[in-house]
Amino acid sequence: MEFSIKSGSPEKQRSGCVVVGIFENRRLTLPAELLDNASSGFVSEIVRRGDMNGKSGTSLLLHNVPGTSSERVLLVGLGKEKDFREKDFCAAIRLSVKALAETGTQDATLFITELAVRKRDTAWRIRQSAIAAIDASYRFDHYKTKQDELRRPLRKLTLIVERRNELSIAEEALQQGIAIAEGCTLARDLGNLPPNICHPEYLAQQARELATEFKLECEILERADMEKLGMNALLAVARGAHQPPKLVVLHYKGGKNSAKPVVLIGKGVTFDTGGISLKPAAEMDEMKYDMCGAAAVLGTMKAVARMALPINLTIIVPATENMPDGNATRPGDIVESMSGQTIEILNTDAEGRLILCDALTYAERFQPERVIDVATLTGACVVALGHVASGLFANKDGLARDLIEAGEESGDRAWHMPLWDEYQELLKSPFADMGNIGGRWGGAITAACFLSRFSKKFDWAHIDIAGTAWKSGADKGATGRPIPLLTHYLLQHAGKID
Ligand code: BES
Ligand code: MN
Ligand code: ZN
């Protein structure tokens, strides 16, 4: 989709469709009022008759509105004016794009983008609009052999800002939004790809392609390299798999040479059967999404490189399948992690923490300013927070605060969870330094406690995205979360947003 920014009045737009908002209780937004004046009351008459009542989630398409230059007008319900917040704004953009897709138009002009949203500025509105519009028009139909030939996709969206002096700020925000959305699209594609295609080598290949496109430094560690480094926790997970494991590293250097990098680590289990601690059959296909952490850090890297942010960023993706096999790790096996700490593997389905712990130790060599890992780590996190918020853990409160705020501002929320010592107790093992599970209760927390033991040398945060990285049901698919949170955080870190 092509985007542009403009300011102007709705009745004068030569466009396939002009999109304006209507609040509940027949309150026309300013652009709707301008259309109404130009058309001698055409719009208000429709609203008066009750064909558009302004409720959120509703829309009405009008053709040949008198006195206007566009072919169509789309009225979009915004809900109650006094309750209009960030999420209502984004929902209105998404609804507009979905409704436009049902029409014959291939270009449209959105006046929703000039609506005031409390506490948010023009840059925010434009950035979020681009992200929401691209997200709402996303489709994954690579494997459908019959394409919908009648569909006319939306090709061009013009986003309106109120004043001409906002154009340059809006243009920069638009480019940021497009970059972030492209990162999300990459992550969603990787998540949605079937596990017979998207295996560890496929993720490595994606990294190589990003490296070529954006001139990044790329290292890919093979099994033999991991053996030399003593990454026995990661290797224990890979034992049962026929697909070889990979540890993928990408470096982006946009900042000063002396600036320490931010390191992002993404769990890349391209299929999680549970291993010998085999998962039940129902919905096991969804364990293809167990590499969504990896997808998110690759997508974040793509967005950051596209925005050319003045920071140094490194991403690490430990990638493997978790399979049962005659050679697979058994419950009860003890391994020595790269850090030297020993682990009794009591449940082979708690594999994410095993690959992450060696990746965390590997991160030390980059002398990171801070490390953030992203993982579909625990079903317990879904029990705790549902599909709304990601679980956030950190060994520095300031870092947690910044990430929570980035989540709030990007509409990709996370909730701060505790990492108290009392929970560490639960990881005790009679035979090794620790077990890899902490028992029945507080599973998201004990998993984070496990990781914290490998994160003592730097400021560290862990984001459990088990409930947020994908959706089940009718609109099943990867969401691209938490890329909006991470990119917002990095934009702030780069001084591009205050
Ligand atoms: N990938 C799963 C976590 C998961 C489960 C994410 C369901 C989304 C939905 C992870 O590897 C796992 O299996 N975790 C176990 C840990 C347990 C054995 C301590 C879990 O959550 O059941
Ligand atoms: Mn598992
Ligand atoms: Zn897993």
- 206 and 106 in one domain? no
CA dist 169 to 120, 122, 409, 490, Å? 14, 8, 18, 18
Tell me, in angstroms, the distance from the centre of ligand 2 to residue 141's CA: 28
- DSSP collapsed to 3 states, the chain: CEEEEECCCHHHCCCCCEEEEEECCCEECHHHHHHHHHCCCHHHHHHHHCCCCCCCCCEEEEECCCCCCCCEEEEEECCCHHHCCHHHHHHHHHHHHHHHHCCCCCEEEECHHHCCECCECHHHHHHHHHHHHHHHCCCCCCCCCCCCCCCCCCCEEEEECCCHHHHHHHHHHHHHHHHHHHHHHHHHHHHHCCCCCCCHHHHHHHHHHHHHHHCCEEEEECHHHHHHHCCHHHHHHHCCCCCCCEEEEEEEECCCCCCCCEEEEECEEEEECCCCCCCCCCCHHHHHHHHHHHHHHHHHHHHHHHHCCCCEEEEEEEEEEECCCCCCCCCCEEEECCCCCEEEECCCCCCHHHHHHHHHHHHHHHCCCEEEEEECCCHHHHHHHCCCCEEEEECCHHHHHHHHHHHHHHCCCEEECCCCHHHHHHHCCCCCCEECCCCCCCHHHHHHHHHHCCCCCCEEEEEECCCCCEECCCCCEECCCCHHHHHHHHHHHCCCCC
- Is there a domain that residue 412 lies in? yes
- 101 and 50 in one domain? yes
Residue 30: CATH number of its domain:
3.40.220.10
pLDDT per position in the chain (498 positions), as tens? 999 999 999 999 999 999 999 999 999 999 999 999 999 999 999 999 999 999 999 999 999 999 999 999 999 999 999 999 999 999 999 999 999 999 999 999 999 999 999 999 999 999 999 999 999 999 999 999 987 776 788 999 999 999 999 999 999 999 999 999 999 999 999 999 999 999 999 999 999 999 999 999 999 999 999 999 999 999 999 999 999 999 999 999 999 999 999 999 999 999 999 999 999 999 999 999 999 999 999 999 999 999 999 999 999 999 999 999 999 999 999 999 999 999 999 999 999 999 999 999 999 999 999 999 999 999 999 999 999 999 999 999 999 999 999 999 999 999 999 999 999 999 999 999 999 999 999 999 999 999 999 999 999 999 999 999 999 999 999 999 999 999 999 999 999 998
- Is there a domain that residue 436 lies in? yes
- 242 and 118 in one domain? no
- Is there a domain that residue 372 lies in? yes
468 lines ligand 1 (CB under 6 A): no
- For the entire predicted model, the pTM comes to 0.98
Residue 193: CATH number of its domain:
3.40.630.10
- 141 and 74 in one domain? yes
Domain that residue 479 falls in: 181-493
For residues 287 and 279, the answer to whether their CB atoms sit within 8 Å is yes
Tell me, in angstroms, the distance from the centre of ligand 2 to residue 228's CA: 26
- Is there a domain that residue 498 lies in? no
- 185 and 156 in one domain? no
Tell me, in angstroms, the distance from the centre of ligand 2 to residue 316's CA: 20
- 264 and 405 in one domain? yes
263 lines ligand 1 (CB under 6 A): no
Last residue of a domain, one of 98, 126, 160: 160
User: Ligand 3 being an ion, which residues bring their Cβ within 5 A of it?
Assistant: 269, 272, 290, 352
- Is there a domain that residue 173 lies in? no
- 215 and 81 in one domain? no
- 228 and 82 in one domain? no
- Is there a domain that residue 170 lies in? no
The residue among 209, 262, 289, 188 whose CA lies nearest residue 487 is 262
352 lines ligand 1 (CB under 6 A): yes
Last residue of a domain, one of 92, 126, 160: 160
376 lines ligand 1 (CB under 6 A): yes
- Is there a domain that residue 169 lies in? no
- 225 and 90 in one domain? no
- 143 and 60 in one domain? yes
- 326 and 263 in one domain? yes
| Tally of domains within the chain | 2
Peptide bond into 482 cis (omega under 30): yes
- Is there a domain that residue 455 lies in? yes
- 10 and 92 in one domain? yes
